[in-house]
Amino acid sequence: MPFTHLIIFLIAFPVSSSGGKWTYNGPHGENHWPKHFPYCGGAFQSPINFQRELQRYDPGLLPVQLQNYNLSSSEQLTLSNNGHSVQLSLSPRMYLSGLPHRYSAAQLHFHWGSPNVLAGSEHTVNGKQFAAEMHVVHFNSGKYPNITMALDKSDGLAVLGVLIEVGEFNPAFEQFLKYVNGIKYRDQKIQVPAFNIRDLLPAHLDEYYRYDGSLTTPPCYPSVLWTVFRHPVTISLRQYLALATALFSSHAQESAPMPMLGNYRKPQLMDNRVVLVSFQEGWGLHGPLSVASPMHRKLVIQQLLNGDLADLADEGLQQLLPKIKRKPWAPKKWKSNQSHLQWSQVTEKQQRSRMQENNPSVWKNPDTSPYMGKLGVNEDELCFISLEKNVSFQLRKHHRDSEMVHTLRKAVFPELNLRSYLKCKSDLDMQTIKYLLHTRPTEDADELEKTLAKTTKKERQRAMSQNHGPALTKLTGQFQVTGLKNAYNMIPTNHKSEPIEFED
């Protein structure tokens, strides 16, 4: 069944969401997550590796604003072992301000390595993995009544990530680590006195990485606004070992206890995303990734939707293609030709005036576009669980369960990529361009699509001819394509309906 026909039915036939047992290793490990949780093989997944060449300084990123984090010791928090991590419940009075919505705290939890390998963080920095990582999970309480309702919405969650190194003793972490022997086994929980949660975070809240990503555990919905602090905090080796040696992922009555070790997910594909950073120093001669302004990006989208495609083909292709940034070691003759970046003879001001007359709605709300909503989803947020249910129903109806991950990705990726592109958080992907062109079923659109494909191929061939070695795949994006093909093959023949369990 053609994908466009499938989308027509997306709202009409809901089915139960899928679920299943999952672990980090073994037959239910992360390589097999997409069998029961299709979004785990989908778009905008987390964690990622913060590569320097994919970062862009954003002067508009203000220090993280914490509200009511200093809890009274007379208040009680629940410390629990959920079989995947240590989790501490948080007071809903705690919230983040300064974001597009109010995000209230729900819980915090940890990821770590093993007693012998002090490497268990999920996010990495230029390939470096830290000993552990803490996630402080918040949900969009301005729009949703609880975290369960928010976790599958595109604007549902905001998570603070804290990288952890082994070093000096940390008295703040001792406030709950001293109780972990009371939750050695799965589903055990105890009450602990509350404390100042701010003390668990780095001293500097103004330096961080920010990007759009996902839950790092099943069901892996791409619903998280990530803020990962640049500076790690330290805990002592004894404190680290309290996590890495005292806990089990199995129940107390099981005869063969399973140690809770290595509970971290590996870095995921970038999917054309860039990482916004709030800090500027340390860039050296090779500055942060330069991108077109939000205004210019709106004009590019409007040109695809309503403009003259012949002019765009002649002058605007370079604005649409992913920007391949020359590495410091790349040949000096490989540079951007600034003349190619001029995609119109008309100034931005004149272009904006013209587009505003043709379609004024896109300028009223900078977070929306005429394309958003054309995939049968709400313009305010994507409801991932509803989309998953309906895609699953249609594929089952036509005996095509094996295409679940692939089709689900096709349904959600263009929308996520377009939103991210308009907010300067990603490049515009070729797949998204094709969907934009499909709104204009003309010979000109077909011709532009062919021209784009040809130009992209030439750009990659030119990069290949001028750059050699394993880093080439990072420049051309070919590694991403291969990785996705492999992910698409990890699909079940039986898509069972079971309760959803989530952690992040």
Residue 361's Cα: distance from chain center in Å?
A: 28
Sequence ranges of the domains in the chain: 21-277, 310-488
**Residues β-bridged to residue 132:** 112, 164
| Cβ pair 369, 422 in contact under 8 A | yes
| Cβ pair 384, 392 in contact under 8 A | no
| Cβ pair 200, 88 in contact under 8 A | no
Give the rounded percent of residues in the chain with a pLDDT score beyond 70.
69
**Residues β-bridged to residue 164:** 132, 233
pLDDT digits (tens, 9 = 90+) for 175-194: 999 999 999 999 999 999 99
Average pLDDT, the chain: 78
Computed from CA positions of residues 347, 350, 353, 358, in that sequence, does the dihedral angle turn out positive or negative? negative
Computed from CA positions of residues 306, 153, 213, 19, in that sequence, does the dihedral angle turn out positive or negative? negative
Task: Report pLDDT for 222.
Answer: 96
Q: What angle do CA 178, 184, 186 make, to 5 degrees?
A: 135
3-state class of 162 per DSSP? strand
Which of the following is catalytic: 5, 28, 36, 84? Answer: 84
Contacts of 24 (CB under 8 A, 6+ apart): 30, 84, 262, 263, 264, 265
pLDDT digits (tens, 9 = 90+) for 186-235: 999 999 999 999 999 999 999 999 999 999 999 999 999 999 999 999 99
DSSP string, 68-107: S-B--TTSEEEEEE-SSSEEEE--TT-EEESSSS-EEEEE
Residue 92 pLDDT > 50? yes
Task: Give the Cα separation of 33 and 42 in Å (integer).
Answer: 11
pLDDT digits (tens, 9 = 90+) for 350-407: 444 444 444 444 434 444 444 554 444 444 678 998 888 888 877 877 767 678 888 8
Contacts of 378 (CB under 8 A, 6+ apart): none
Task: Report pLDDT for 406.
Answer: 86
pLDDT digits (tens, 9 = 90+) for 230-288: 999 999 999 999 999 999 999 999 988 999 999 999 999 999 899 999 998 655 434 45
Give the rounded percent of residues in the chain with a pLDDT score beyond 90.
50
Please, what CATH class does the domain formed by 21-277 belong to? alpha beta
Please, which pLDDT band fits residue 53 given cuts at 50, 70 and 90? Answer: confident
Residue 115 pLDDT > 90? yes
Task: Give the Cα separation of 54 and 7 in Å (integer).
Answer: 33
Active-site residue, 84 included = yes
Q: Among residues 17, 7, 4, which one has the least CA distance to residue 386?
A: 17
DSSP string, 318-362: HHHSPP-PPPTTS-TT----GGGG---SS-HHHHHHHHHHH-THH
Computed from CA positions of residues 95, 92, 136, 156, in that sequence, does the dihedral angle turn out positive or negative? negative
Q: Which residue has the tokens 């991932």?
A: 384
Q: What does the pLDDT average to over 295-314?
A: 77
| Cβ pair 393, 232 in contact under 8 A | no
